[in-house]
Every structure is written in C-alpha cells, then in structure tokens.
Chains A and B, each alone.
Chain A
Amino acid sequence: MAIHPPKQMIWWHEPVERSELVWIAVAFLWGLVMFGTMVAWHFVGKQNLSNEAYRITPDVFQARTEAAAEKYKVREEGNTGIPVVRPPPGGDAYMLARLWEWWPILELEKGQSYRLHISSLDWQHGFSLQPTNVNLQIHPGYEMVLTVTPDAAGQFTVVCNEFCGIGHHTMIGRIYVVDKK
C-alpha cells in the first residue's frame, strides 16, 4: 500500500503497465504542443504583449502625459473636467494611472495603430480594457509601451483590477474608438 514501504525493495526495476506508458506519452506530447502553440502565436497571432518597457520616474511620466493631453485635447468629458485626447493616428498615446483614475480619456481611430504608453504614478494598478477583456499590470516606475490597433468602434472602459486601496472600485477610465472621418 501507499502507506507502507514498497514490497519490492528495488522498485525501480518493476515493469510499468502499458496504459500508464501511453498516458505519460500523450501527456508529454501535449506539453510539447502547448509549448509550441505559445511560440507559434508570436509568428501567426496578432495578440502578443509588447516587451517594450522603460524605467521612468512618476514625475517625468506625468509631465509627458500632461503635455500630450494639452496638445491633442479635443474636448472635455461631460462636466467631469476630464480631457478627451485624440492623438494622431500612428502616434503616441499616453495614459496614466493614479489613485483613483485613469487619465486622460483617449479617442482613437478604428483600424489605426497607436503606441500606447501606460505607467502608474503611485501604486500598482490593473489596466482592464472592457468589454474586450484585455488585462495588463501597471507598475509605478515602469513605462509599458504597446502598439494597439482598435478593430471595433465604440466606447471602451478601463477598469482597475489590481487592488489599490479604498477607492479602487471607483477607478475607471475610458477609451473611445471612432470611425475615420
């Protein structure tokens, strides 16, 4: 029994039943397939997270985000005072995370690519793009740069999904995706 020492002292030489061997082979090959799928997706898939990131201080990132917001601001969102920023297609879009907001609101064109820069000014935050459900971890001191190509027009929401204190559940931001005019 499993709670007693093996009956045969030299258990290593016991022959293994065939069904066990078959299962081990299947499971092992499946592991190789799963490994291969991850690698292959880098060549055939369109959703691979960027490896581009930089160390940055919160002050510098805040200054860059504010400069971009000032330059490309098109309006304010309702009476919230949050600027809606429309960066040039193919250009850089900045969004910062802080307690407890994603700032500013971005307006992107469908089908265009943008270099999206995200970082946090204080604690860790979770960038959760809804309803597409793309989720990224945002750290203070690290600027993540990824190239996104929104492929559907509409209103998207950025929910914070990394716990960041008592206002965590109020931390949402927005991205508008509009058809090309």
Chain B
Amino acid sequence: MATQAQFRICPDTGLKVHLPAQALIKANAVAAVVFLAIGGLFGLSVALTRWPAVHLLPAEWFYLALTAHGADVLLFWIIFFEMAVLYFASAILLGSRLAAPKMGWLAFILMLVGAVTANIAVLQGESSVMFTSYVPMKAAPHFYLGLILFAVGALIGVFVFFGTLIVAKDERTYEGSIPLVTFGALTAAIIAVFTIACGAIILVPTFLWSIGIISHIDPLTYKVVWWGMGHSSQQINVSAHVAVWYAIAAIVLGAKPLSEKVSRTAFFFYILFLQLASAHHLLVEPGISSEWKIFNTSYAMYLAVLGSMIHGLTVPGSIEAAQRRKGYTNGIFEWLRKAPWGNPAFAGMFLSLVMFGFLGGITGVILGTEQLNMLMHNTLYVPGHFHGTVVAGTTLAFMAMTYLVVPLIFRRELVLPRLAQWQPYLFGIGAAGISLFMMGAGTLGVARRHWDITFTDARLSFDVPAGAFLMMGLNGICAILAALGGLAYVVVVVGSILFGKRKDAPAPAARPATPPMASPIASYGGEGTLKLPGTMVLVSVFFVAFVLYYYVNWKYLASVWPLR
C-alpha cells in the first residue's frame, strides 16, 4: 500500500495525484513532444519536396525523411503521449497509486531505446522502406528491432495501466464505475493489446528474415497481419482522442456525458469492430474475395463507424448541455459562440472534433468501401485522409490536452499565453489544408510517396493535370502553417515546463483516501430534460455532407473503365 507521502492533492481540481505516476506522465509527455518536433520537421521537408516549385530534398533524402516522418509522428509521438494519457486516466482520475511504477519506467526506457534505434536505422540510409515496410523490400535488422522494442515497451505500459485499474478497485479509491474518460482509455488499452500482438506476429519473423534466419515472407500475408497492427493502432488513437475530448469538455466546461450508457456502448463498439479498419487496406490486392472485403470492411453494419458517429453527437451535445446550464440559451448557437474559444485546450479540442469528423471520418468510410477504394488506393488521397484523422484529429486533441497537463501535472503556468491561444488555429488550419489538398491531388491521380510528379528522369513522359501542381503548392503552404503551429506548440510547452511560473508548491496530502469530488454541473441530459438544437443542426450538416460525398464518389466510379 502506498503511503500518503506519495500523494498530493491538486488544488485546482481536487484530484489526488500519485507522485510516481506524475513523474511517468511527465517523462512520456516530454518524449512525445520531442518526437513530434523531430517528426514534424521531417514532415515539413517532405511537403516542401512535394511542392514542385520548391522540390527541397534529393530523392534519396526524400524517401528517408518520409520513412522517418511516419515512424516519429505516427508511432512515437502518438504512443508516448498515449502512455501519458493511460497513466493519467488510471492513477490520477481514479485517485489511486500507479501499479508497479518501476515497470512503467522499464516500459518507458524500452520505448525510448526502440524509438532511438529505429531513428538511427532510418538515418543511416539503409532503411528507407516507409512506415509500412512492405516485404520483400528489406530494411536493416535494427529498424525492425527498434520497432519491436518500442512495441514491447508499450505493451508493458498498457499492463501497468490494467494493473492500476485493479489496484484502484481493490483499494476502493472510487465508488461505482470508472469514469467515462478512463473507460475510453481502457478501450484504447484493450485495442492496444490486440494491435501489439499483430505487430509481434509479423515484425518478429520479418526481423528474423532480415538477418537471414527465415528465407521468405509472403508479401500478402505480411500485409494482412501488418495492417492488424497498422490500422488497429489508429483505432487506439481514436479511442484515446475521443477520451481526451470528453476529458477536456469535463475539465474546461464541467460537461457531463449526456448518457453514460450511450457513450460507453459507443466505445465498446470500437473494441468489437476494430478489425474493420484493417481490411480497408486490402481492397485492391490480388487473391482476396469480394465477400471477405465487403464483410470485413463493414461487418454488414458499419458498427465501428456508428460508434464514432455517436461520439460525434454526444461530445458536442454534452458541451451544448453544459453551456445551456450556464445560461447560454439564446437561439441555436449562443452556447457555441460563447464557448471559451480563447482557451487553447477548448479550441483545440473542438477543432479536432469537427475536422476529425468532416475530413478524416467521412473520407475514411469512402476509402474503406470495396469498389470506391480502387479510385484512391495509394494516391495522395490516402495520406490526405489520415492527416485528417491523426493530425487534425488525434494530434490536435493531444496538443489541446497538453495545455491542461502543463498546469495540472507539471504545476507550471503557460508562458506566452497569446501564442498558446493562437496555436490550435494555426495548427488546425494548416492540418486541415494538408488534408484537403492532398485529397484533392489524390483525386487527380497524384501518387503518394512519390518524389517527382513531373517524371523528369523517366523513360516515358507523363503530364499530370495542372490542377495537381496547384494542389501540391497549396499543400506545401499549409504544411508551413502547420509547422509554425507545431513550433508554437513546442515553444509554449517546453517554455512553460522550463520557465513557466510555478504554481503553488505541492503540499503532501494530509487527508486520507477519497479526495473531495469537484461537483459536476447539476444532473441533466436524461430523457426530456434538455433539448440540444445546436448539436442536432451540426450532426445534420455532417450527415448530409457524408451522404452527398459518398454518392458523388460512386458517380465518379461509374465513369471509369468497366472492369471485372
């Protein structure tokens, strides 16, 4: 049993903070920000190379930078931050001690060593195989080894999270069910176990193949299993950032879920139907039947999509309800107009919500439709889509969360508050533009992961449509905006951690057991207690956009060469 000396009571929230958990959250968050900065720089150099008028890097460097960009931001930034979210959602929100902090540190060190090893492998130049590292293209053995170490570390961290839930329940640090945010984090953690298992099943043999112990790896089998990791990990991100949306709405506005039942069921759908995502990557592969493709991308009901669409209503709905309780009841949108748009945590969260839905969500379903996938597979449409999900969605949500973590966990006030205020808009608009313009270029046929759309060195010539050049230029400009937003984030966060005004020194917890609960906004949201007209308008607009865009793509499909 932990001694009380290991805790402090947060004067702002009344949360009971376990100091070893706090230290681990700090370490993981800092590592996350470092990899975001590195990966973001690589990303900027990639976008500037793909801007034909700039064409920054030579080909070799471009493919190297693109590989590093994928690994550093999609894996290392996001998963380090998710570790911080898991420890926060378990130990801090439940007011419990963290189970096995030493294992938490082991996890952290393994992840760090793995991430650094993979980066070294990529920078040495022998591992420019892209994030997906499709066989039979081969990377240096320590590239795979780095990824494996990172995954093992992450798995240990996930089990520390599970252990903490058990400890908290055993020691009765809370009553009733775990909070919704913890439930969302639990969803992410369960999916993470599946994801990492898939990763181990494919990366371990691939590592053995790279050092010559295994002679052959079937490329199709590799892809099937690899995507069990590759896209399921995006389901971790979705679960984690939806949990973060709920957390920010609760901390900033005192919002309470409209219905615990609905929101939790929506999270549960992610666990049951996460396989859907993996099949999306195999829609134009040889040797896979249409029945398999259709069933696995939809399970006949699209229930994982349903889960996200539910959160799409309940998150803004809970915000609207909270705001209306506070008296912003005029018209349909006063609650939204008078929301705290100057608070970077809220602004980032709400932009993330809207852009994840409109840019990432809709296009993800289109890409995951058996026949429509043929129109976009491996074009720039694909990165356009996932920059809508993991950059405008996950990354922006995590950035927003950081603005709460710095005062709550690091106990520092934000430096440069004006810059922090603008940061979510700068980054959000940049990310939205990257997503949109890449999708535009992809619709015009521009290939992803491609150094030269003018085909100067090719034996045959090909002129891409002029519009594609415009799209790539706009993409480059938006990448600069996003990079400035990313820079602002790093400056504010690092500046605050190092030089921010200390908030009052943590007093050792004198009071035992359960901390005082900050009183939530009075009960609402039950049947018939409150109408949410603004949210209904928002989701209706979303739905109309979804349906229209879906059928526009079918119309486009009908115009290409008949094939069967």
- Chain B at the A interface: mostly helix, strand, loop or mixed? loop
Q: Does A27 contact B (CB under 8 A)?
A: yes
Q: Which of B60, B262, B286, B457 contacts A142 (CB 8 A)?
A: B286
Interchain CB contact under 8 A, A128 and B379: yes
A39 to B258 CA separation, bound complex (whole angstroms): 36
A169 to B369 CA separation, bound complex (whole angstroms): 28
Q: Does B240 contact A (CB under 8 A)?
A: no
Interchain CB contact under 8 A, A5 and B219: no
A61 to B151 CA separation, bound complex (whole angstroms): 39
CB-CB contacts of A3-42 with B at 8 A, as 1s and 0s? 1111111011011111110011011101110110111011
Collect the chain B residues with CB atoms within 8 Å of residue A69's CB: none
Collect the chain B residues with CB atoms within 8 Å of residue A172's CB: 455, 458-460, 462
Collect the chain B residues with CB atoms within 8 Å of residue A4's CB: 93, 179, 250, 517-518, 520
CB-CB contacts of A120-159 with B at 8 A, as 1s and 0s? 0011101011111111111111111011111100000101
Residues of B that sit less than 8 Å from A by CB? 59-60, 63, 93, 128-130, 134, 136-137, 174-181, 218-220, 246-247, 249-251, 254-263, 283-290, 294, 297-298, 300-303, 305-306, 309-310, 313-314, 317-318, 365, 369-371, 374-379, 443-445, 447-452, 455, 457-460, 462, 464-465, 517-518, 520-521, 523, 525-532, 535-536, 539, 543, 546-547, 550, 554, 557-558, 560-564
Closest beta carbon of chain B to A75's beta carbon, Å? 15
Interchain CB contact under 8 A, B93 and A3: yes
Interchain CB contact under 8 A, B564 and A82: no
- Of B179, B251, B536, the most chain A CB neighbours within 10 A belong to B179
Closest beta carbon of chain B to A124's beta carbon, Å? 5
Closest Cβ neighbor of A129 among chain B residues: B561
Interchain CB contact under 8 A, A161 and B294: no
A143 to B365 CA separation, bound complex (whole angstroms): 28
A20 to B129 CA separation, bound complex (whole angstroms): 45
Given A168-B449, A169-B455, check contact A53 B136 (CB 8 Å).
no
- Chain A at the B interface: mostly helix, strand, loop or mixed? mixed
Interchain CB contact under 8 A, B246 and A166: no
Interchain CB contact under 8 A, A132 and B561: yes
Q: Which of A1, A14, A131, A146 contacts B526 (CB 8 A)?
A: A14
Interchain CB contact under 8 A, B460 and A77: yes
| 13 A-B pairs whose Cβ atoms sit less than 8 Å apart in the complex | A3-B179, A24-B310, A45-B558, A46-B563, A46-B564, A48-B290, A128-B379, A132-B560, A137-B285, A139-B219, A140-B219, A169-B452, A169-B458
Interchain CB contact under 8 A, B298 and A31: yes
Given A34-B365, A130-B445, A148-B563, check contact A1 B218 (CB 8 Å).
no
Interchain CB contact under 8 A, B558 and A170: no
Interchain CB contact under 8 A, B259 and A17: yes
Collect the chain A residues with CB atoms within 8 Å of residue B302's CB: 30-32, 34-35
Q: Does A164 contact B (CB under 8 A)?
A: yes
Interchain CB contact under 8 A, B374 and A49: yes
Collect the chain A residues with CB atoms within 8 Å of residue B465's CB: 131
A32 to B285 CA separation, bound complex (whole angstroms): 25
Closest beta carbon of chain B to A161's beta carbon, Å? 3
A157 to B558 CA separation, bound complex (whole angstroms): 20
Collect the chain A residues with CB atoms within 8 Å of residue B378's CB: 126, 128, 135, 137, 161-162
Interchain CB contact under 8 A, B313 and A23: yes
List residues 78-111 of chain A with CB under 8 A from any CB of chain B.
80, 82, 101
A98 to B547 CA separation, bound complex (whole angstroms): 40
Given A17-B528, A47-B562, A151-B561, check contact A38 B520 (CB 8 Å).
no
Interchain CB contact under 8 A, B550 and A130: no
Collect the chain A residues with CB atoms within 8 Å of residue B284's CB: 49, 135-137
Given A4-B179, A144-B286, A150-B561, check contact A34 B379 (CB 8 Å).
no
